[in-house]
Amino acid sequence: MRGLIPDSFIDELLARVDIVDVIERRVPLKKAGREWTACCPFHNERSPSFYVSPAKQFFHCFGCGVHGSAIKFLMDYDRLEFPDAVEELAQTVGMTVPREGGREAAPREDKTDLYALLDAAAGWYEGELPRNADAQAYCRKRGLDAETIRRFRLGWAPAGYDGVIKSLGNTPRRMELLNEAGMVASNEKGHKYDRFRERLMFPILDRRGRVIAFGGRVLSSEQSPKYLNSPETPLFHKGRELFALWQVKQANQNLVRIVVVEGYMDVIALHQAGLPIAVATLGTATTPEHTEVLFRAAPDVVFCFDGDRAGRAAAWKALESALPRLRDGRQAYFLFLPDGEDPDSLVRKEGRDGFEKRIREAMPLSDYFFNELSHDVDMASLDGRARLAERARPLIAKLPDGAFRDLMAQELEKRSGARAMLQADPASHRAMQRPTAVQRSLVRSAISLLLAQPGVADQVEKPYRFLRLDKPGVGLLAELLDLARARPGINSAMLVEHFAERPEYPSLQKLMAAMSVGEPEAQRIEFFDALARMEDQAITQRRDALTAKSRDGKLDSAEKAELRELLAARARPSVTPA
């Protein structure tokens, strides 16, 4: 949703940013003539089919079809809503996003109030922590210093059922927000009460450092459940978020390795020990969304689990989630801890250097993969090797095309003696070649050529004589011309973004992505030729309609005069550049 952001600001923003810079911060690009190219970040492929056009300020993948402006790229790649993508982009060029007033100023899609309420809740919990002796004693016992408590905004949810409600829910609107944010729950009679009580509170931040949820831990192991997280809300989806990812990114300019542990306190202990590279999933198994976020943050991901059965089961789920995302250049490792130890206890015993050594010696995914699949298999027997092959084939087939997939298949053949014979994912083997031409109607051709060079609109004289043509898209072409004339200097991406919330947007994006053949001057000539042919078609269409009507003797005097003029007229170019 555009929300309340003025179109003029979107224009200025897209004029200031360079889509190549925006994408290259996230995806390595290579120069290819006038464009830049890469393997698509949105689907698995071996050969590059993802193109970025500096001239159009537009990206397009000829494999999976994804395309759009710099704003659309951030929405797809960072999974942001439109207003968040605009704000993210604006920050990079030092712009402040304005908001329009009027009827649309209702907080319909604007979650500003919700973010503000959650931040206030975090502040309230922070203020309660120094007031509780048990919570303070627990923090000292766990070795937490004041700086760590401040950096992670740790707090305390006191006993009682209405602490948050009394402090933050003093109006009907704020009570509504508390409910929407998952801060309150309801009993069977519908009475509201604080969800978190007598727990050490851990604010969960999004990728922009905003509070979106909480995790709460009891102080005694006798209480249950040990951890309680916020429920799913409009801001919080636990299968996508990682605890402390914001702090990791703040502490590391060029992050090479990231470590995934199981508990909030494990994360905090590693950060405090001088290893600010740890994150945790939020009470759930590692999901495919988690692994994509992790690999976007760092090329090497170390999954750290207990060595017991539960830890190994969690590790295997992490491996299955990681396999489809292991493009060349990405690596996953597995670190299993000694019995009875967790990252918190180990880093206390061994210090930063000791734990860092364990991370460096973590087991590569390939070793863990084959060890796990063959641990109950008799590799000395033919049947055992066949069993390994049958187990491994479908999993290796999930890997993206590339050197790692080929090496894993070779390793399987070496261990089992059976050829991999992988069933390729059809989606990863679509035709990746760029089309040499695009078949489309005359009107669509004119629109595509205008999108390639919006500046030609200034050379089209009004009134637009092609408007008499009764064909789909004629009105849209006229609207695009008007918009381009009204905004001198508008580029292709800016022109298309004006239709972001209209039904025509997907079609315009496809036309934008289509390859325009020829040099700029040749495209300009082709554009005006298309307009001339459209006017000729309009004349023919009108003449045929009047001729058909004359057969029924229904023409009035004006229509008869018009028909005589049309019949006498000869084909001539009627639209020329000014």
Same domain, 124 and 188: yes
Same domain, 360 and 322: yes
pLDDT at position 75, please?
A: 87
Cβ(28)–Cβ(34) below 8 Å: no
Same domain, 48 and 119: no
Q: Is residue 15 part of a domain?
A: yes
Q: Is residue 553 part of a domain?
A: yes
CATH of the domain at 558: 1.10.860.10
Q: Is residue 150 part of a domain?
A: yes
To which residue do tokens 């002796």 refer? Answer: 133
Same domain, 421 and 470: no
> In terms of Cα–Cα distance, which of 158, 159, 155 is closest to 120?
155
Question: What pLDDT, in 10s, does the model give residues 555-574?
Answer: 787 877 777 777 776 544 45
Same domain, 61 and 162: no
Q: Is residue 237 part of a domain?
A: no
pLDDT at position 437, please?
A: 41
Domain boundary (104, 133, 160) is at: 104
CATH of the domain at 75: 3.90.580.10
Same domain, 23 and 45: yes
Same domain, 85 and 48: yes
Cβ(278)–Cβ(285) below 8 Å: no
pLDDT at position 421, please?
A: 60
Amino acid at 442: L
Same domain, 44 and 123: no
> Is the entire prediction scored with pTM above 0.75?
no
Task: Give the integer Cα–Cα distance in Å for 103 and 107.
Answer: 11
pLDDT at position 110, please?
A: 58
Cβ(160)–Cβ(197) below 8 Å: yes
Tell me 514's DSSP state.
Answer: S
Same domain, 123 and 206: yes
Exposure class string for 480-514: b at 16+ Cβ within 10 A, else e: bbebbbebeebbbbbbbbbbbeeebbeebbbbbbb
Q: Is residue 576 part of a domain?
A: no
Residue spans of the chain under pLDDT 50? 1, 102-109, 424-439, 517, 571-573
Q: Is residue 495 part of a domain?
A: yes
Same domain, 172 and 252: no
Same domain, 494 and 548: yes
Q: Bridge-partner residues for 52, per DSSP?
A: 36, 59
For residue 112, what are the CA distances in angstroms to 78, 164, 177? 19, 19, 11
Q: What domain range includes position 308?
A: 245-369
Cβ(198)–Cβ(138) below 8 Å: no
Amino acid at 186: S
Same domain, 420 and 483: no
Domain count for the chain: 5
